[in-house]
Amino acid sequence: MSRVSTRTLALASSVAALSMTLSACALGGNTSAFNVEVGQCVQLPDGSTISRVEVVECTAEHDGEVYHIEKLTDKERPSEDWLNMRMESICSNAFEGYVGAAYEDSDLRITTMFPTEASWKRGDRDIVCIAISNDGEKLSQSVKDSGM
């Protein structure tokens, strides 16, 4: 069952669509999207809809690092267009403070996760920003304060 949808923001600020779901949280184990935390490094499964991610040490190869989570306060789930605009703004603005480099100058790109209609009805309100490699390669260190 879907938990969140995702979007990948390209350096030119265009949005490429992906849809993902994440589902409990311990290092080296599958983690619920409701429980991911800033600073966790994750393996993202292939596919457009997923149910779980694996949290790993940031020194191990990984797909991305959660660098910002923002809770939406809307009563009704916003439109896809509004979510896309808001995610781009939220994640781009939080990027430099965590990574230590401006998004436009970075070797990273952004994947965002946001609630689906179904997960919104279950109380999911988080926009999750994840830094991933711009070239599709695995990361092997934390991106925090890396200047990457």
Q: Tens digits of per-residue pLDDT, 61-112? A: 999 999 999 999 999 999 989 998 999 999 999 999 999 999 999 999 999 8
pLDDT at 33: 67
pLDDT at 51: 61
Does pLDDT of 3 surpass 70?
Answer: no
pTM for the full predicted model? 0.81
Q: Tens digits of per-residue pLDDT, 17-66? A: 233 333 233 455 787 767 889 999 999 877 655 567 889 999 999 999 99
User: Residue 91 has what DSSP assignment?
Assistant: H
In the chain, the DSSP E strands lie at 4-9, 15-18, 30-31, 41-43, 53-56, 64-71, 108-115, 126-133
Kindly indicate the confidence band of residue 145, based on its pLDDT and cuts at 50, 70 and 90.
very high
**Per-domain boundaries in the chain:** 28-133
